[in-house]
Structure 1
Amino acid sequence: MFERLFPRRKPDPKPLPQPTPQLALGALLVRVALADRTYRAAEVGQIDRILAQTFGLKPIEAAKLRATCEALERHAPGTPEFAQILREEVPYEDRKALGDAMWSVALADGARDDDEEIQLLAIETALGLSDADMTAAREKALNAL
């Protein structure tokens, strides 16, 4: 009876880790997938594959990393802060590859969405990619559709 009147408070959630390049990339991939306000299994799978390939992780490890990135994306800094971490730590050619990876997440559900494309443009710009490289990544992704 007292439980209904005085329910136990839920413990405070674990503090989020400080963003690292690995977490920043994952959070940005999640942010792209959520831009259209849906989060489909195809997008989740693509994020897991990208994280596994990029960081040499096993599937379970990639899924755990993605789960941490999902929490970080919800509660952590905005796109410019994540992108700044990547700009400082990741060479330009690798950032170009990140742009390609983000396009693959955006199109993993087989549909183009203006909100995802706007989010992608903001991320690519924040990553410091050139207009030519952003255009090439977009055309490459759309041609693969």
Structure 2
Amino acid sequence: MLATIQRFFQQALTEPAGEGSSGPTLERATAALLCEVVRADYHTDEAELSSLRRMLKRHFGLGDGEVEELMELAREEIETSVDHYQFVSLIKQHYGYAQRCELVRMMWSLAYADGESHHLEEHRIRRLAELLHVSHSDFIRAKLQAQADAE
């Protein structure tokens, strides 16, 4: 079944040219970084998971079943990866600066989805924003926008 799911994402979604099936797709890399924010405070809240589902549906134009499969694959990628390099490098190669800023805003939206933001989530988002080469001012702008949207 897992092979079928992976084949689906390799065929149906955009996969960078030259990447084999051994690496994550752009969609899985994006979902994996978003899952990292959900996991950052060691407490997975249903509000955060619902928000993640909505984001992935909207961002990639996926259906319910496809979103669940993507989330499961992203969780597996995160659990088996040693670091974030493979995800971050793929995103930096294929996302422009504005798309990376939007990704950071999405991370902040997830952090506020449960009604509160924790220092652990902020630390994780700050580190990922730095790895994605998002400026500090855009990091703060994304945070303030997510706060305003959450109110």
Q: Is the 8 A contact 1:80 1:123 kept in 2?
A: no
Moved over 3 A (4+): 13-17
Render the CA deviation track for 1:64-120: whole Å, top value 9, x for unaligned. Answer: 101111111111241233111100111111111111111111111111100000000
The code of the aligned residue for 2:99 comes to: D
Consecutive unaligned residues in structure 2, runs of 5 or more: 7-20
Render the CA deviation track for 1:49-72: whole Å, top value 9, x for unaligned. Answer: 111111110122111101111111
Given the superposition, is the C-alpha separation of residues 69 and 17 from structure 1 closer, same or farther in structure 2, using an over 3 Å criterion?
farther
RMSD (Å) for aligned C-alpha atoms? 1.9
Aligned to 2:70, which of 65, 71, 86? 65
**Pair 1:48 & 2:53 matched:** yes
Find the residue that maps to 2:147 and give its secondary structure. Answer: helix
Distance in 2 (alpha carbons) for counterparts of 1:47 and 1:26: 8
The TM-score, its normalising length taken from structure 2, stands at 0.81
1:138 aligned residue: 143
Percent pairwise identity: 27
How many residues align structurally?
A: 133
Consecutive unaligned residues in structure 1, runs of 5 or more: 1-12
The code of the aligned residue for 1:68 comes to: L
Match runs of 1:26-105 below 5 Å = 26-105=31-110
Find the residue that maps to 1:24 and give its secondary structure. Answer: helix
Cα distance, 1:142 vs structure 2 = 2.1
- Higher Cα Rg, which structure: 1
